[in-house]
Amino acid sequence: MQKKSFLVTEILSFLVGFLGIHRFYTGYIGIGIVQLLTLGGCGIWSFIDFIMISIGKYKDAKGQDLEEYNSNVGYAFIAVYIILWAVTIFFNMNYISQLTRV
């Protein structure tokens, strides 16, 4: 059977990792169901998976490395993830501070 694509796995993890879709794609059906039911372990488990995929340490259910791993792409995804979280936190803090003004 052919190897699973790094880029597809990375995109699935980035966009819908909290639903465990990347786990279904890579053959981890049981773990995918658990992640689906727990929303990626409240986000922690899906975040760890995302980092593991990004740095090339994630394997599919058959123990194979993901096809065409590119560290530059992986680290770029990590950078985008961090930037999006920082922007989200900034805007939420700004919104909360506006609500508390009297």
Six token digits for residue 33: 């169901």
Q: What is the DSSP string of 36-84?
A: HHHHHHHTHHHHHHHHHHHTT--B-TTSPBPBT--HHHHHHHHHHHHHH
- What stretches in the chain show pLDDT beneath 70? 1, 102
* pLDDT given for residue 102 in this prediction: 60
The DSSP 8-state label assigned to residue 4 in this structure reads: P
* pLDDT given for residue 82 in this prediction: 95
* pLDDT given for residue 58 in this prediction: 97
* pLDDT given for residue 11 in this prediction: 96
Whole-structure pTM value: 0.86
* pLDDT given for residue 1 in this prediction: 66
